[in-house]
Structure 1
Amino acid sequence: MSIRCSGAGRLISLASMVTAALAVLAVTPAQAATAQAPSAELGILVFHGDDIRQYSLDCGPDDGSHPDPRTACGQLRKVDGDLTTLRPGADPSCKAPETDPVDVEIMGTWNGMITVFNERYPNPACAQASAGLVVPIH
């Protein structure tokens, strides 16, 4: 089993997300044969000030509590689930000093591989520009 990790984040919530991901993987062979697993099952946590939002995102079929799973899964498919593409980019808002940070944690599986992503964006505009298709930023 491979693990892809990016960044540093809140250890308590990360530990609970690892536990949840391992529970997803604890499927008996009989269950696996009768039910086709989605290509991705991800939990997304967004921390902005005192606001904490949690979303689920399943790809294949595209579903979950994410407000637009089809668009998010489409973006992830374009980059083969590489969550490092959600890191802050060249957008001018990402060059600003950290004034209103947004922390994002993503944990789950992509095509059978456990994947973990943690990032702190300096402000909501940078978070939206960098991860807005996959991570709902309000």
Structure 2
Amino acid sequence: MAIPRVLAGAVALCAAAVCVTAVPAAAAMPSTLTLTATTAGQAPHVVELTCDPVGGTHPDAQLACIQLAQVDGDIATMPGTEAHIFCPMIFQSIKVSATGLWRGRTVLFQDSYTNSCERDNKTGNLFRF
């Protein structure tokens, strides 16, 4: 009777080890996004953002990755970095897009804003480059 108990315990221990190691691997999946911002009448600005590990050509990749992690990569739900800031009535249309992967999920985001102030209010630091 002792051998079946030992085998059952070993199986349970192995199953637990697989579960424990699977969670960090999923959380550490690399995230790579191509971010584009185009101000009316100007050439597009394009940067790469890599998270887990942080890198790419984004000027503040660490903050952008932190803000994305807060919303699990859902850019449409990002809180702006400066809540309730009043934006001037300067009309300089900006179109932004993000394509790539966030922790294994496809990201396709696109939006337009009246000016950079409105963009930052809606997307935080992500498109500030």
Per the normalisation by structure 1, the TM-score is 0.63
Structure 2 residue aligned with 1:55: 47
Aligned: 1:46 with 2:37: yes
Q: 1:110: how far off?
A: 0.8
2:68 alignment counterpart: 76
Cα distance in 2, alignment partners of residues 106 and 87 from structure 1: 16
The match for 1:119 among 86, 111, 116 is 111
The CA deviation string for residues 17-60 of structure 1, in whole angstroms up to 9 with x for no partner, is xxxxxxxxxxxxxxxxxxx851x110000000213100000000
Write out per-residue CA displacement over residues 77-108 of structure 1, whole angstroms, 9 at most, x where no aligned residue: 111111112488854329x5x82111001000
Aligned residues: 99
Question: 2:83 matched to 1:92?
Answer: no
Identity across the alignment (%): 26
Question: Is the partner of 1:45 in helix, strand or coil?
Answer: strand
User: TM-score, normalization: structure 2?
Assistant: 0.67
Give the aligned partner of residue 4 of structure 2: none
Structure 1 unaligned residues grouped into runs of 5+: 1-35
In structure 2, distance between residues paired with 1:131 and 1:68:
14
Q: For the residues of structure 1 that align with 2:47 and 2:33, how far apart are their CA atoms?
A: 8
Q: Secondary structure at the match of 2:63?
A: helix
Check conservation: 1:87, 1:119, Cα contact below 8 A.
Answer: no
Following TM superposition, where does structure 1 have runs of at least 4 consecutive aligned residues deviating by more than 4 angstroms?
Answer: 86-91
Greater Rg by CA: 2
